[in-house]
Homo-oligomer: A and B are copies of this chain.
Amino acid sequence: MDSEKLAEFYKTLGDKTRLRILSLLKVDERCVCELVEILGISQPTVSQHMRRLKSVHLVKERRQGRWVYYSLDGSLYPFFHSILESLPNPKQELNVSERKMVCD
- Determine if A86 and B16 form an interchain contact, defined as CB atoms under 8 angstroms apart: no
Q: Main SS of chain A's interface residues?
A: helix
A85 at the interface (CB under 8 A from B): yes
User: Size range of the interface on A?
Assistant: 20 to 34
Instruction: Produce 1/0 per residue, A1-30, CB < 8 A to B.
Output: 111101111111111101110010000000
A10 CB contacts on chain B under 8 angstroms: 10-11, 13-14, 19
Q: Which 5 A-B pairs have the closest CB atoms?
A: A11-B14, A79-B82, A10-B13, A10-B14, A82-B82
Can you name 18 A-B pairs with beta carbons within 8 Å? A1-B86, A3-B23, A3-B88, A4-B16, A6-B88, A7-B14, A7-B15, A8-B14, A10-B11, A10-B14, A10-B19, A11-B15, A13-B13, A14-B14, A78-B85, A79-B82, A79-B85, A82-B83
